[in-house]
Structure 1
Amino acid sequence: MNNFEKIEAYLEGWMTQEERAAFEAELQTNEALRKDYEDWLYTERVLQKQLSADEKTQELKNILTPLTRKYFKVERKPQGKVVSFKKYIIAAATAAAILIIFLSIPGGIDNYQVPIMPQAVVRGAEDLSNEGAQLFNKGEYEKALPLLKQQAEHNPEDATIQYFYAIALIKTAQYEIALPVLERLSEGVSAYKEDAAFFTALAAYKLQRNDTALKYAQQVSEHSPYYKKAQKIIRKLN
């Protein structure tokens, strides 16, 4: 089973309780799986937001109409069976929605992609973790913050909760508190190490701690989704 099959099974509720627990554990240590999971959820969220906005929906329809006519025409077979292209249409809609979003996003360092927080990442406190994750993923960072803080305080070694707690602090402009949390992650060995380096650089940049900002921005490799943003910080400081 590849990553996307695992993710689909997890999100659709096809896994047993034991399989879900194993998937959530792997999500914390397997960087490739985590990034695929974040990409999946981000794509769904972009599409949902895009389709709910009247102006953008029309723009999306204008793009999708020729695509669906050209590539996804439904033909009736002699037996009367209709071929379903639902998955392919959703894929086309998703690609078009993401294209519209990305073309309209300014290029400043504050316009970065916020990762999707997986739910139930802290064992033994699923309800609290789920609520905090749901609020975080909705962009309600101020509401999510006290829940994430409580989780972070009770699970100081859990890299996942520490990472998303720190990002919630960044999104609420609490850079002074976020910085040491992010520095620990950047110097650690978790799957969040490199992404945390960007947010460490961002927090330090906001606090005008330029040497620290430059140090961590230089640790972000070309393979990171935050590489271009990190390079912007470097250019601003040089």
Structure 2
Amino acid sequence: MNDLERIDDYFSGRLPVEERARFESSLETDSALAEAVAFYLTARQAAQNEARADRKARFETLREESGPVRQLPARAWLAMAASAMLILGLGGYWLFQRQTPSAAEMADQYIHQNFSQLPTQMNGQTDSLQAGIARYNKGELPEAGAIFNDLLQRNPADDRARKLAGLVALRTGQYNQAIDHFHRLSERTDLFANPGLFLEALTRLKRGQPDDLREAETLLKTVIEQNLEGKTEAEVLIEKL
């Protein structure tokens, strides 16, 4: 895939989450890519302007060719105006519907904004968990997942590795595995802060299978009612469902 195809896929929303993260990271350091993006946006705006100008010119041509407007009874004009308003109203409704993001899109936006990068420790230590996080932040998700799953095999009670293994599964589209990790995490009662229920709800919104939306709503309500980790985010998401 060349740069222009990749750029077009990015702005059209066709790139997967991990690809978008790599694209945005490259944009910060790759001057050639930044120039290509600027060219793409300029060309797209010019094309849109040209298309509008072309439509306007065609309309003017058709109006000139049609000659004088035939006089119609006032009742006929009112009927035509009412029909036009109805069409515009329906058009506005469908436009609003198209602009309103789906549950999966809202989940995808949240995942992209909050889990594209993970915080790292600044004490200079490099244990297995930090090595996995470093791989994750580089976009090397399968390698990061292998590290986190190895940690879980050695210590199934490692809640940090459980959460991170779930995030890798979520971002790589392995939703069943992600739900299993987050559900197990939510069952822990010995943690000061437990994001398991919220992350499971997020995964169900993203997966979008039958009953997932209902299950996600139930989980989000539980997070809010029990003041669990993710309550603020849950309140925002549930208002949009």
Shorter chain as normaliser: what TM range? Answer: 0.3 to 0.5
From the CA coordinates, give the structure whose radius of gyration is larger: 2
Q: Which has a greater percent of helix? A: 2
* TM-score for the superposition, normalised by structure 2: 0.45
Q: TM-score, normalized by length of structure 1?
A: 0.46
